[in-house]
Amino acid sequence: MAPGSGAAVLKTPPEEVIRQILAAAADQRAVQGATHSFYKYPARFSPVFASSVVQALSRPGDLVLDPYMGGGTTVVETMLAGRRAVGSDINSLSVFLAGAKTAAVSVAEIRQIEAWLKAVDSTMSYRRKTRRGSTANDVRTRNLDGGARSIRKVLGNALGSLTSLPSEAARQFVRCVLLKSSQWALDGRREFPTLVEFRERVRTDGRTMLGSISSFAAHAVEAEPPCLIHDSAANLPKYEPFLGGGRADLVVTSPPYPGIHVLYHRWQVLGRRETPAPYWIASRTDGHGAAHYGFGDRSEPDQAGYFSQLASCLRGIRAVTKRGAFFVQMVSFKDPKAHLRRFLECMSDAGFTEICTAFDDQSDRFWRPVPGRKWHAAVRGKTSASAETVLIHRAD
Ligand SMILES: C[S@@+](CC[C@H](N)C(=O)[O-])C[C@H]1O[C@@H](n2cnc3c(N)ncnc32)[C@H](O)[C@@H]1O
């Protein structure tokens, strides 16, 4: 649909539009562009997919909701397409990231951030004395020991120095730079970079990210700031006045997956030792186990907890979605045969009707192989757990 055409939203997308969306869903290129490379959010989807759905199934000015926004891919692409973005997530890190990726950073703030980056060698010096009561002693630095101890110390110094930046936007941006560089330095590592390499990485990440946020601002000139909600999708109706007084014209999302473990809230260092360090760096609260972020305990044999949370989130989403709005999601299943059927039942119970109902045999559906994801799941039946499918529904 041409931007600004004002054409009515299609009642049922023609096959050609569905084919375009599925082709975009199959996109296997590394995630890049806009501010998407600010953080590698686990199980994030391709910006090409989010953008193609937003362009095909909404009009400029429409309200696009991602109720489980994760790293904020949909929020960023929605703003770039000139639509209004609403995102929610139960993970405080997600809200931090979506905010940092869409922040309005002024020219004066860019100068301040550049000055901070120039001073990294002295600010992040190992010899610098850590202040008493500094953030380096924070419980969220758990498991940053052994070879990671020196990185923890210089990171603590860097975080302590943020008070020298005059605005909250500049401080948040630098936290995000440190988050990106630290994810590179720590997550999934058995051996850590040297402090010289780490500081160099902070400098280059910072410069690249400044370029990305400036270019995002130039392309999203007309976009309203997004509405970002830190809460369960089940509670979305509570926030309805914040949705610009309206309801969602389109929902684009990817929920937690039944039976599949994704580590949304931890980094793994030195093998499988988990650290809550991302919350320390982003200055956000944590305190929850994996089940909190994944709709319950994945080891439950019948996934009863998962489907009950899915049902209440879908009711919350339906309550803030316009009648006739499309709801497009990318989802994966540990046991596709059993889980997909129950997933579709929950959608239907919540008041959503599937558009592509031609898939009587679930193995005929579109399945996209998942590139290099960090999750653990068994392979069952015709489709493996490391494959995702796209579901297209409309609100009744
Ligand atoms: C598959 S990820 C979304 C990834 C996202 N599409 C992206 O591109 O980064 C699923 C997200 O659902 C969030 N989540 C889990 N339970 C939730 C709930 N009850 N309400 C809202 N979000 C929830 C998790 O924290 C996680 O960020």
For ligand 1, the distance from its centroid to the CA atom of residue 257, given in whole angstroms, is 9
How does pLDDT run across 140-173, given as a tens digit for each residue? 999 998 889 999 999 999 999 999 999 999 999 9
The pTM score is: 0.92
| DSSP strand pairing (321-332 vs 368-369) | unpaired
- The answer, yes or no, to whether residue 188 has pLDDT greater than 50, is yes
Residue 195: both structure tokens together: 């402090």
For ligand 1, the distance from its centroid to the CA atom of residue 42, given in whole angstroms, is 10
At residue 19 the predicted structure's pLDDT band, cuts being 50, 70 and 90, is confident
Using CA positions, which residue lies closest to atom 20 of ligand 1?
A: 232
Q: How many CB atoms lie within 10 A of CB 185?
A: 22
- The answer, yes or no, to whether residue 377 has pLDDT greater than 80, is no
How many CA atoms, within 13 angstroms, populate the side-chain half-sphere of residue 381?
A: 17
For ligand 1, the distance from its centroid to the CA atom of residue 317, given in whole angstroms, is 13
Using CA positions, which residue lies closest to atom 15 of ligand 1?
A: 293
Closest CA to 178 of 227, 214, 135: 135
- The answer, yes or no, to whether residue 368 has pLDDT greater than 90, is no
If you ran DSSP here, which 8-state letter would residue 175 be given? H
- The answer, yes or no, to whether residue 363 has pLDDT greater than 80, is no
- The answer, yes or no, to whether residue 373 has pLDDT greater than 50, is no
The residue to mutate among 39, 66, 68, 279, having the most atoms of ligand 1 within 8 angstroms of its beta carbon, is 68
Dihedral, CA of residue 104, residue 110, residue 116 and residue 121, to nearest 10: 110
Cross-strand pairs, 229: 88
Residue 106: what pLDDT? 95
